[in-house]
Structure 1
Amino acid sequence: MEVASLGFRTDVMLLEMGGSVVTDHGSHLVVRTPANPGFHWGNFLLFSASPQPGDAVRWSALFEAEFPEAKYRAFGVDGVAGLVGQTSEHEVLGVTAEVNTVLTADWLVPSVATPQAEIRALTGDVDWCQVLELDFACYGLPSDDDSRRFAERRVAGYRGLCEAGHGFWIGAFVEGHLRSGAGLFAVGSGLARFQNVETHPDFRRRGLASAVLHHATQRALLDLGVRTLVIVAAPDDPAIRLYRGLGFVDRERQVHLHKVG
């Protein structure tokens, strides 16, 4: 199966670089991340088209066969137009459709602001522990041990990609504390994908995220041979205005069908 969506193509490339196993079944891909089985979007099915009448039963059976222990359901729909398919099939699957915006840029609009922070790549255990702390500050503490293990494994995966030379994680440090950060990884064909752009709730609107994105972009263009930057955001996420202001342009719509277990 040839993936048309730039969003899913970079998703899958990044997962494979981190050790995920991707199996092509022609009409769909099975993406499996043995190192983090609780990662829904590391363990999912990607179909070549949105669900049509009668597909829900087949999709459900395929997912159960691949992930028999999973209580959740996660299906990606390839394409660029954001077509979600038949809502009646969503009801049978028990999923909710989420359509995100895929944006690209060749360069970023120069920033005139100079935030009061140290902008640099992460190094060492202390820095990477702060990535986890920032994630919890943005989204809340995990409610159970499985959720915490998922978060820890995901951060460890990103660290592994950085240490393998596939990219870097840039942070904005205020008085030694990580207050904003993002990863940027080269995935081949001149593409680089941003991951987890986060800013501590108490430190927003200070230009920290913008500075992080600029610093990461400069390094990627110089060191990784990148020609196109890719970033994905929910259309109602306030951050999308920041991305557009920096020069990112809407390119595609990316469809996820998801049920939380």
Structure 2
Amino acid sequence: MTTDTRAPLHSLGFSTDLIFTRFHGVVRDLGEAVAITNPSSPAQYFGNLLVFRSPPQAGDRARWEALFAEHIGRPLHTPHRLFGWDGHETPPELEDFLAHGYRVEEEVVLAAPALHAPQHQNLDAEYRVLPDTDEAWAEALDNQVASREDGYEEQRYRQFKETHLRGLRAMCRAGLGFWYGAYLGGQLVADLGVFSDGGHLLRFQSVGTHPEYRRRGLCGTLVHFAGEHARAHFGASQLVIVADDHASAKRVYTSVGFAVAERKQLLLKVLLPGEQH
């Protein structure tokens, strides 16, 4: 077992997830799985998980849960279990997990070697790298909160996003990426980040457009601007973006050259108070 491993993962989604988990946490190679932990935030779902080399098969649940307890954490400090899998050589067998309270989380992973401008560009806005000032990042926080999906309570989401952006700002300061904004009349109306794995991969993060400014071509134009700026700066050859499988998001991303590369699945169980097994 090694710490802060560079053990390769085949999935573009999981490989680029490691850009963030290596910076904020610990990555360990267990052989059959990669253990990802964030000691400063043990209850964070996607900072504390196991990614297995192969999909789950019948009889794996108890062993996977034991590995999670040993290498990731136990309640109450880690009140969930989260499993991903890198390989797709065999179909996953999910029945036992689903019968024991797990749910499947699915995301679509899109990739492109380079981006082109969308057909419907917004040329009224100004697109630029966010300056590293408290005021600029406070604007980004406000825009991210305004851009949140339905179902998220505003104050709790603001608290989560404030911590999240603080970590991403630290990554920008460390030279691992940039935060970008689209401005109309001096107001930030769309923002996102792009981060490097130190090699040929770039990963987009937290694409958000203010609800009052959607369907104006801002998002696609900003994605194109940011991707090409970051690709030129880092000399990368593959851009990656991960999203929920919504038609509207995919339509924006494919409009600038992204194509679906894979579908990413995880198994999540949130443990109830007092639940130990």
Provide TM-score, normalisation by structure 2.
Answer: 0.84
Q: Which has the higher contact order (CA 8 A, sep 6+)?
A: 1
Q: Pick the aligned partner of 1:46 from 43, 51, 54.
A: 51
Looking at structure 2, the residues matched to 110 and 82 of structure 1 have their Cα atoms a distance apart, in angstroms, of 38
Which residue of the partner structure matches residue 87 of structure 1? 95
Candidates 6, 9, 30, aligned match of 1:3: 9
Aligned CA distance change for structure 1 residues 80 and 238 (closer, same or farther; 3 Å): farther
Q: Distance in 2 between matches of 1:129 and 1:81?
A: 45
C-alpha distance in 2, partners of 1:81/1:143? Answer: 43
Cα shift readout 1:127-162 (whole Å, capped 9, x = no counterpart): 112222222212244564xx6543222111110111
Q: Secondary structure in 2 aligned to 1:188?
A: coil
Query: Which of the numbers 118, 124, 148 marks the counterpart of 2:126?
Result: 118
Q: Tell me, yes or no, if the aligned pair for 2:182 and 2:218 is still in contact at 8 Å.
A: yes
1:207 counterpart = 2:202? no
Q: Is the aligned partner of 1:128 residue 2:137?
A: yes
The residue identity in structure 1 corresponding to 2:249 is A
Q: State which drifts further: 65-74 or 83-92.
A: 83-92
Q: Would you say 1:23 and 2:28 are equivalent positions?
A: yes
75-84 vs 228-237, which moves further: 75-84
Question: Secondary structure at the residue paired with 1:150?
Answer: helix
Matches within 5 A, 1:170-209: 170-209=180-219
Partner residue in 2 for 1:234? 244
Cα distance, 1:82–1:136 mapped onto 2, change above 3 Å: farther
User: Structure 1: which 5+ residue stretches go unaligned?
Assistant: none
1:43–1:237: structure 2 CA closer, same or farther, 3 Å change rule? farther
* Alignment CA distance shift 1:131-1:81 (3 Å): farther
- RMSD of aligned alpha carbons: 2.2
> Residue 230 of structure 1 aligns to a residue in which SS?
strand
Distance in 2, matches of 1:218 and 1:72, equals: 38
Cα displacement (A) at 1:237: 4.5
CA distance in 2, matches of 1:228, 1:85: 31
Name which of 25, 32, 38 aligns with 1:33. Answer: 38
Identity %: 37
Which residue matches 2:81?
73
Pair 88,192 (structure 1): closer, same or farther in 2 beyond 3 Å: same
The question of whether the paired residues in 2 share the 8 Å contact of 1:83 and 1:255 is answered with no
| Equivalent residue pairs, number | 257
Q: TM-score normalised to the size of structure 1?
A: 0.89
* Equivalent position SS for 2:178: strand
- 1:56 equivalent to 2:61? Answer yes
How far is 1:72 from its partner?
2.2
The CA deviation string for residues 67-103 of structure 1, in whole angstroms up to 9 with x for no partner, is 22222222111125794432222322x2211232211
Judging changes above 3 Å, is the alpha-carbon distance between structure 1 residues 243 and 60 closer, same or farther for their aligned structure 2 residues?
same
